[in-house]
Chain A
Amino acid sequence: MTTASPVLPVRSAEPSALAEISQETLALTRRLFVQLRRRPSTLIAGVLQPLIWLVLFGALFAKAPEGLLPGGGSYGRFLGAGVIVFTAFSGALNAGLPVMFDREFGFLNRLLVAPLRSRSSIVLASVLYITVLSLVQSIAIIGTAALLGYGWPGLAGLGLVLLTLLLLVFAVTALSLGLAFALPGHIELIAVIFVANLPLLFASTALAPLSFMPAWLGWLAALNPLTFAIEPIRAAYGGQLSLSTIVLEAPYGQLSIANCLTVLVLLALGLFLVIRPQLDRKLS
């Protein structure tokens, strides 16, 4: 036998899918951030609102007797976790709005006539954008809360806080994007966001512990996804980072940090699975 002929590198006909998907996703994400930079009012409102909550509610209960709340501590400390979660939650709830406007104004058609490698890039860009945005807002609140003397979770604690927020943001973003493709227009979407916001906040452990609530509200709060995010964060602020820490005495049993995070993971996955057919139909 003669020497083997050198193997020529075969140039694939198409560039790699990953390269193309990241190019289109990043471009679409960049667009959303440019919009944000030029119209920062949503960002500002998203930080201001929770700050006002923090200051006003903290002051409202400033004279509440120590020891009233589980784990002792001031109401401000208790409230911190709730406000952080609420910030991330309401930020993510808006994820569908840019998509809805693109549908209504026909910009989506411009995207769909382009040879996108994957049309998931459109959804992915929104998820990326809203995740970064919600986390930035949350970190701003965490920092301000610390300055106001409402506590600081420490670095490891911060990791747990951000992980929890991330899971919640994924789940809520999926929900909002699903709505953005299912509802007929932005008016309806804004109405849903408006209606969902406050009741979900009040029917959670953000403002008061379960033990303060009548049984029916306790049940609601113990099933509310916000509660599953609030309690691990509250534990992180209390310095308890072990995953097996029991954080909630729900009517149906005790919940550990691990339980809460699992529920959030399942919720996020479940919602993405539920909205998928809808997205496929609208983007095909």
Chain B
Amino acid sequence: MVEQAHSGASPLPGSEALIQLRDLHRSYGRGDRAVRALDGLDLTVPSGCLYGLLGPNGAGKTTALRILCTLLAPDRGTVQVAGIDALAEPRAVRRLLGYVAQEVAIDKILTGRELLQLQGDLYHLDRSKRERRIAELEELLGMGDWIDRRCGSYSGGMRRRLDLASGLLHSPRLLVLDEPTVGLDIESRSVIWQVLRQLCSSGTTVLLSSHYLEEVDALADRLAIIDAGKVIAEGSPATLKQALGGDRVTLRVREFSDAAEAARVQTLLQACQGVRQVVVNQAQGFSLNLVVDDQNVVERLRRQLAEAELPVFALAQSRPSLDDVYLQATGRTLMDAELAVAGSRDPKAERKQNMR
């Protein structure tokens, strides 16, 4: 299984902070064309857990992770990893962490094995340790069939797995992954999830960013929700959702309703005991989104609707999701936030900017 003999100092007790980011500020560009990517980001990641960084496209996740990994200097703020000041001693921090970037840069002409061997030399592993680790990771990540093929022929999933292997090669105490499963096939995604869980249970701290709330919800012990370069909520997925309180109910009286009917039902239900909030979702065919106190409310709702001689096309109840947490803090859903930036970013120009 995942054997992580950690390099560096002895492991810290579980509760201690492994990463501390304080008041990070970072802008791209100058003058009135400057984009503020980080705006006073604070983050504390305890040792030994799987920590998620959830936020829509453009929230500043990649910028924060690049700063953490010493690839980018903040305009302001401090970065500490295992008590080491990353800005003063970047090399010590680089030894502690493995970084799996969002955009996989791979040498297409090398084979996967050759890339890992190169990586091993860059981390100064001796030959026997290097080969042993490569064999372990080959097994762990199911790379046996293709590790000796050239990277140029790899699918997205293979590249990601190879990249994960190269991040893990030197058995880092901290693994940092930037959107590790974006655009992946299901098999690769499940391999990666499984490996991350195993790593974590054997003591490696894993910090991953994602804009999939399902991913963070399913994987993370703790998470921070990032929006516009700041942390807007922090905690375990369960606490965050509980803090919101109440259940979520989605109701459609007909498959396609209209504004007038929706408004009528809204007024009716708002008066209902145990219903905290009713919102008409125009984008979803005038369905109604309710926040309710508990289980029994739904039965009462059904009765109420029947009395008013209204049909029920669909009625679904769910616990609050992380999306609701995001909605509560920002007033919009993650999906809306995604759509708002879709197409407004210029990956080519950003890549150019990121060039050394």
Contacts and interface: CB of A to CB of B under 8 A. Distances in A.
Given A20-B124, A27-B122, A107-B107, A283 B114 contact: no
Contact of A31 (B71, B118, B123, B354): B118
B355 interface: yes
Interface string A77-115: 000000000000000000000000001111111111111
B123 A114 contact: yes
B117 interface: yes
Given A109-B71, A109-B101, A113-B70, A31 B110 contact: yes
A282 interface: yes
Interface string A32-64: 001100110000000000000000000000000
A69 interface: no
Interface in B314-356: 351-352, 354-356
B91 interface: yes
Contact of A39 (B70, B71, B109): B109
B114 A115 contact: no
B352 A184 contact: yes
B95 interface: yes
A231 interface: no
Interface in B91-146: 91-92, 94-95, 99, 101, 103, 105-107, 109-110, 114, 117-119, 121-124
Nearest to B104: A106
Interface in A22-36: 23-24, 26-28, 30-31, 34-35
B114 to A, nearest CB: 6
Nearest to B98: A113
A84 B118 CA distance: 34
A23 B118 CA distance: 10
A107 B69 CA distance: 15
A248 to B, nearest CB: 41
A71 interface: no
B109 A38 contact: yes
A106 B124 contact: no
7 contacts: A27-B121, A31-B110, A35-B110, A104-B355, A110-B105, A113-B69, A115-B123
